Amino acid sequence: MTDTFRAGSHSAFIAALIELREAAGQPSYAQMHRLSRVPGTPKELPASTLHDILTGKRERLPDWELVASFVAVCRRHAANTGLPPGSLGTLEQWQVRWRAARNEPARPRVSGSYDPYTTPPDEAERRTTRTVARLVRLAGDGDPDAACRLAIIDLLTGNLAEARYWIHAAARRGHPDARALAAHPRPVELAAALSFACGEACEQAGPAKLDIARFYYRLAAERGHPAAAERLRVLRAVPFGKPLPAPPRADDD
């Protein structure tokens, strides 16, 4: 990971920890607990604590000693399994990210009723979280498309400071959508249109990305994009696991 990465919120930081564990070879919670008992590790990592943090059951950001142990254990597991630990980031880099997340208040949880016509909520959240974590990793490594998608997400969720950072990062590498966002008099409106386009691309990629398509459609619909709202209505009309109507394509009449 590079210094360009910025975890400016609680959720983004937890997503980054999930991505770190995956990059280290996805050690089990039990393996991480055992590795955390090696002398010199700041804090022991019980499996139940790891589960609660990574599944969002704890609203507070983990303390630094726990994060430092998490990073050390991931690096240790990577080295033990033949993966390069250097790509996982140093303790110093992770402390910068942890401080950035700590300085931004955690957002309140949004509750709602269960919808049997969508993917079960825990599964949908897991898929979305993994996608955002992947975007953060790629953007931190210099991918302008990932940085632009993060900018779109941040604009539509009201995280304007983070959005400006990612717009600048993507535009600096010549991304046309990022440059358009930077110059647009109403960037949120343009972000909604771009989010709808992202949703279409995900939907057309196949069933595995339908939850991500819904995520982008919902972001756009909440900002008043009518086509996104209509597509969400169509997707919700079919129960989870059933075939969905084909999404509209650019060359359709």
Given a cut of 60, is residue 118 above it in pLDDT?
A: no
89 and 182 belong to one structural domain: no
Predicted local confidence at residue 71, as pLDDT: 96
Domain assignment of residue 217, yes or no: yes
Residues 125 and 232 grouped into a single domain: yes
d(C-alpha 181, C-alpha 216), whole Å:
17
Contact between 77 and 35 (Cβ < 8 Å): yes
127 in any annotated domain: yes
Does residue 71 belong to any structural domain of this protein?
A: yes
Instruction: Return the minimum-mean-pLDDT range out of 46-50, 125-129, 145-149, 204-208.
Output: 125-129
Tell me whether residue 180 is in a domain.
Answer: yes
- Name the H helices within the chain: 10-23, 29-35, 47-54, 64-80, 91-102, 121-140, 144-156, 160-172, 176-183, 187-204, 210-221, 226-236
Assign 127 a pLDDT band (cuts: 50, 70, 90): low
Helix axis angle for 144-156 and 210-221, nearest 10°, is: 50
Owning domain of residue 208: 121-236
> Are 90 and 127 contained in the same domain?
no
Total structural domains within the chain? 2
Q: Environment class of residue 53 by beta-carbon count within 10 Å: exposed (0-12), middle (13-18) or buried (19+)?
A: buried
